[in-house]
Amino acid sequence: MKSIGVVGGGQMGSGIAQLAAVHGLHVWLLDSDPTALSRASSSISNSIHRLVSKGHLSQVVGTNALRLLQCTSNLEDLCSADVVIEAIVESEDVKKKLFSELDKLTKRSAILASNTSSISITRLASATTRPSQVIGMHFMNPPPIMKLVEIIRGANTSDETFNATKALAERFGKIVICSQDFSGFIVNRILMPMINEAFFTLYTGVATKEDIDTGMKLGTNHPMGPLELADFIGLDVCLSIMRVLHAGLGDSKYIPCPLLVQYVDAGRLGRKRGVGVYDYSKGKTTERV
């Protein structure tokens, strides 16, 4: 593989684009929102310069990565990509529309991967004429740092597509786990109900947000408390995943906590908006690693 398209320049897409460029792939990073695209470009550039200055990346690799990265808002620029990784909003309808467009304009051999946290790969693949080349490639946040990639095979994903995707994740230095195509896959099937339960714990007045997070950090050795982690992921993303789990698995235990719904309705989306469960407007960093 020589070139990659990444669609969606938010926290995940920009991190995936950075990772790919650092590992020598020519990258087209696309976002429909020009502001998001310029934010992604400067965030990647800052991150690479920081990694070079700290000695985590050589100057040569850093300079080469910045040369390999191109930002665009024109989907047709992705026509020669060997693989496209989609990292746009967690909505099945919006993702399906994109997959259908990508199917029409990318080369026939290209793999179409989704970084979805929870949505059925089989159904995304049904929006294309190449379901054997559609796969889930779920990075963890932040992609340049986190070691794991969860790979999800749709009902029609071929062995060839699976092997190429696994090889790509390993080229990025990641450890791969494989999941069947059921809502939330492995990681979010387990993580999101815990985060949702933390919201219920706050909502029903059992404890303060600080005590909930301290309890889980010190009591279970988690590096971040569940409410802090929800702010880091994005409360809109957490809510979308809970809705996919509820719709897909049909159990009332997946009903999103009303407090989570209310925060999202109020635009309190977490660190990326400066406020979520916590307020980041007074100095706490919102910058990506």
58 catalytic per annotation: no
Asked if 116 interacts with ligand NAI (CB under 6 A), we say yes
Query: Residue 144 and residue 36: Cα distance in Å, rounded?
Result: 19
Query: Is 117 in a helix, a strand, or coil?
Result: coil
Q: Pick from 247, 270, 255, 248: which is nearest to 203 by CA?
A: 255
Out of 89, 177, 207, 255, which residue is the one contacting ligand NAI (CB under 6 A)?
Answer: 89
Out of 18, 43, 106, 115, which residue is the one contacting ligand NAI (CB under 6 A)?
Answer: 115
Asked if 111 interacts with ligand NAI (CB under 6 A), we say no
Asked if 9 interacts with ligand NAI (CB under 6 A), we say yes
State which residue, 52 or 137, has the beta carbon closest to ligand NAI.
137
Contact segment (CB under 6 A) with ligand NAI among 60-68, 111-119, 192-200, 216-224 equals 111-119
Asked if 216 interacts with ligand NAI (CB under 6 A), we say no
Is 13 within 8 Å of 29 (Cβ atoms)? yes
Cβ-in-10-Å burial (0-12, 13-18, 19+) of 144 comes to buried
Catalytic residue of the set 41, 114, 188, 196: 188
115 catalytic per annotation: no
In whole angstroms, how close is the CB of 203 to ligand NAI at the nearest point? Answer: 22
Asked if 169 interacts with ligand NAI (CB under 6 A), we say no
Out of 1, 169, 237, 275, which residue is the one contacting ligand NAI (CB under 6 A)?
Answer: 237
Cβ-in-10-Å burial (0-12, 13-18, 19+) of 238 comes to buried
Catalytic residue of the set 26, 114, 120, 150: 150
Terminal C-alpha separation, the chain: 26
State which residue, 34 or 173, has the beta carbon closest to ligand NAI.
34
Q: Which amino acid is at 54?
A: K
Is 259 within 8 Å of 230 (Cβ atoms)? no
Asked if 105 interacts with ligand NAI (CB under 6 A), we say no
100 catalytic per annotation: no
Is 223 within 8 Å of 141 (Cβ atoms)? no
Asked if 112 interacts with ligand NAI (CB under 6 A), we say no
Query: Residue 62 and residue 22: Cα distance in Å, rounded?
Result: 7
Catalytic residue of the set 115, 117, 120, 240: 117
Is 46 within 8 Å of 89 (Cβ atoms)? no
Adjacency order of strands within the sheet including 134-139: 69-72, 26-30, 3-7, 83-86, 111-114, 134-139, 148-153, 175-179
Instruction: Give the binding site for ligand NAI (CB under 6 A).
Output: 7-13, 30-33, 36, 87-90, 94, 98, 115-117, 138-139, 141, 233-234, 237, 272
Residues acting as catalytic residues: 117, 138, 150, 188
